[in-house]
Amino acid sequence: MKKVDCIFIGGGLMGLASALFMARDGKKVLVLDKDCTGKHASGVNAGGVRSLKRDIAELPYIHGALAMWHNMEKIVGSDCGFYQTGYLIAAEDDQAMRELEQRAAQTRELGYDNEMLIGRDRLRELAPIVREHCVGGIMSVKDGHASPAETCRAFHAALVGAGGVVHNHCEVVGIDPGENGFCVHTTSQGKLYAEQVVNCAGAWAGKLAHMIGDTLPVEPVGASVLVTARMPRLLHPFVAVQGRKLWFNQARNGTLLICGGYLADVDMEKGLTRMNFHELQACAKVAYDLFAVTDDITIVRSWAGLDGETPDHFPIIGYSNKVPGLFHVCGFSKHGFALSPMVGQVVSALLQGKKPEVGIAGFEVERFDRVSDLVASNPIPHENCGNLSNYK
Ligand SMILES: Cc1cc2nc3c(=O)[nH]c(=O)nc-3n(C[C@H](O)[C@H](O)[C@H](O)COP(=O)(O)OP(=O)(O)OC[C@H]3O[C@@H](n4cnc5c(N)ncnc54)[C@H](O)[C@@H]3O)c2cc1C
């Protein structure tokens, strides 16, 4: 078999988008998925495209990505179901409002003007269902919602249209690095050869790295979403509350989606998630505390999916420091969907030795080498995450 320029292991959006932009530059690319493209996190997430209160380190990525989401029809021939909803975070008291004011000032200083403070009256207008005690909030109007399934289908089709090849039901079971690239062993396509290999295996990225003699601190994590019966239109933006773990939004069909990183149990032997009723109960309780409509709603279903998570909840993007030519794009820690088009562009540029539009400083795997003992023995608790300086 002829050697290709790059094999992407994992047909989620990180693999599909990176392969697409490389294929458009005339490179020969293969995407392999043990199941099928979009079967895991990329196809089953909550569809939130949020710049609001993103960690500072991710702002260049999300702003690049947002511009792409607003222009998706031109990029992949489909709007991917993206529509602008806005994202809003309400403050429950003056202290929370001060925190949001600080955040708005910080992003303004960095040159981003999208995070706007709103007062109590505007909050009531935009999200009348937020309970009375909330005093104001912060909003980013350009954020929105896209359909994960449509997005995966569109990127897959665009990739094939650009000359890329996708093999579904093709599990990578071994990788041999050699002097002239890699030999990749698969279940359905035998041996495949490539100049470079990209690990975009989502929840399986740590396992895949191990297969080739590398180590990555990426663990599988399950995240869940609650869905209500259809309701009359109650709100347009995604709504959250400062300091609470909750996102609440109303889909175009009227159902409310309630999520916020509530965990599901994970069975990696079967590659499955199972609902965790304690987590769902905690999620419903926070929704009840904060939204006035929750007395009247009926939860009709819930779903969960798997993602790869790093100890500091930031992705890993960059070349392996142990296996030359191996590139990692993983560990998106339950918030990678929104970033994926921009990540694809950056990864494609880096793999071709070009200068990307946005750098990867802070996302390289080396950050964990410096603190590997600390991470292993004392992972940073969730509430303190979101600050890369914790790892410097
Ligand atoms: C329930 C839920 C809700 C979420 N909501 C949001 C949201 O609202 N907004 C947001 O921005 N993000 C959200 N996310 C996170 C987002 O979906 C992920 O961060 C992102 O999709 C990760 O993409 P990926 O390509 O890295 O992984 P995946 O989409 O999981 O793709 C990895 C692929 O690798 C394949 N694979 C693994 N091992 C092998 C192997 N050995 N051989 C071949 N193939 C292999 C798998 O089959 C899989 O298809 C959510 C995640 C979940 C689970």
381-392: pLDDT as tens digits: 433 333 333 332
| Separation between Cα atoms, residue 95 and residue 384, nearest integer Å | 18
pLDDT confidence of residue 295: 77
Tens digit of each residue's pLDDT (9 = 90 or more) over 239-259: 999 999 989 899 999 999 999
The total of structural domains in the chain comes to: 2
* Nearest ligand 1 atom, CA 33: 44
Q: Which of 50, 188, 334 to mutate to test the pocket of ligand 1 (most atoms within 8 A of CB)?
A: 334
Among 309, 340, 364, residue at a domain's last position:
309
288 in any annotated domain: yes
Q: What is the pTM of this model?
A: 0.94
57 in any annotated domain: no
Tens digit of each residue's pLDDT (9 = 90 or more) over 196-246: 999 999 999 999 999 999 999 999 999 999 999 999 998 899 999 999 998
What are residue 173's phi and psi, to 5 degrees? -115, -5
CA 210 to chain centre: 23
Across residues 149-166, what is the average pLDDT? 98
Same domain, 225 and 274: yes
**Is 238 within 8 Å of 87 (Cβ atoms)?**
yes
Same domain, 315 and 381: yes
**Is 31 within 8 Å of 19 (Cβ atoms)?**
yes
Which two tokens mark 147? 């359909």
269 in any annotated domain: yes
Residue 247, C-beta contacts closer than 8 angstroms, at least 6 positions apart: 46, 48, 238, 239, 240, 257, 258, 259, 260
75 in any annotated domain: no
Query: Over 80: is that where the pLDDT of 34 sits?
Result: yes
pLDDT confidence of residue 96: 97
Same domain, 109 and 168: no
* Nearest ligand 1 atom, CA 15: 25
Question: What single letter denotes the amino acid at residue 319?
Answer: Y
Across residues 68-72, what is the average pLDDT? 98
Q: What is the dihedral of CA 192, 213, 37, 307, to 10 degrees?
A: 180
What are residue 209's phi and psi, to 5 degrees? -60, -40
Q: pLDDT over 70 for what percent of the chain?
A: 94
What are residue 385's phi and psi, to 5 degrees? -80, 180
| CATH number of domain containing 28 | 3.50.50.60
pLDDT confidence of residue 64: 97
Among 265, 291, 309, residue at a domain's last position:
309
Look at residues 259, 161, 203 and name the one whose alpha carbon lies nearest to residue 41. Answer: 203
Query: Over 80: is that where the pLDDT of 125 sits?
Result: yes
For residue 288, CA distances in Å to 97, 253, 305, 337 come to: 21, 22, 24, 27
239 in any annotated domain: yes
pLDDT confidence of residue 359: 95
For residue 138, CA distances in Å to 126, 145, 265 come to: 11, 18, 33
* Per-position DSSP letters for 1-43, written without gaps between them: -PPEEEEEE--SHHHHHHHHHHHHTT--EEEE-SS-TTSSHHH
* Nearest ligand 1 atom, CA 339: 11
Residues within 6 Å of ligand 1 by CB? 9-15, 32-35, 39-42, 44-48, 171-172, 200-204, 208, 223, 225, 304-307, 330, 332, 334-338
* Per-position DSSP letters for 254-269, written without gaps between them: S-EEEESS-EEEEETT
Same domain, 126 and 236: yes
Same domain, 251 and 119: yes
Q: Which of 33, 155, 226, 274 to mutate to test the pocket of ligand 1 (most atoms within 8 A of CB)?
A: 33
Under the banding of pLDDT at 50, 70 and 90, the label for residue 292 is confident
Distance (Å) from CA 14 to ligand 1 centroid: 8
Look at residues 204, 203, 224, 223 and name the one whose alpha carbon lies nearest to residue 212. Answer: 204
- Of the segments 153-157, 210-214, 260-264, which one has the largest average pLDDT value? 153-157
Query: Three-state DSSP class for 350?
Result: helix
Same domain, 224 and 130: yes
Residue 318, C-beta contacts closer than 8 angstroms, at least 6 positions apart: 327, 328, 350, 360, 363, 364, 365
67 in any annotated domain: no
Same domain, 304 and 315: no
318 in any annotated domain: yes
Between 75-89, 123-137, 148-162, 290-304, the lowest mean confidence (pLDDT) is in 290-304
Q: Which uninterrupted H or E stretch holds 308? A: strand 299-309
Query: Over 70: is that where the pLDDT of 4 sits?
Result: yes
Same domain, 337 and 212: yes
Query: Over 70: is that where the pLDDT of 24 sits?
Result: yes
Across residues 316-340, what is the average pLDDT? 96
Same domain, 272 and 333: no
Among 289, 309, 329, residue at a domain's last position:
309
Which structural domain range is residue 245 located in?
87-141+220-309
| CATH number of domain containing 242 | 3.30.9.10
Distance (Å) from CA 18 to ligand 1 centroid: 14
Tens digit of each residue's pLDDT (9 = 90 or more) over 307-326: 999 999 999 999 999 999 99
Residue with tokens 């909330």: 134
Same domain, 355 and 274: no
Query: Over 70: is that where the pLDDT of 27 sits?
Result: yes
pLDDT confidence of residue 135: 97
23 in any annotated domain: yes
Same domain, 382 and 242: no
Same domain, 124 and 226: yes
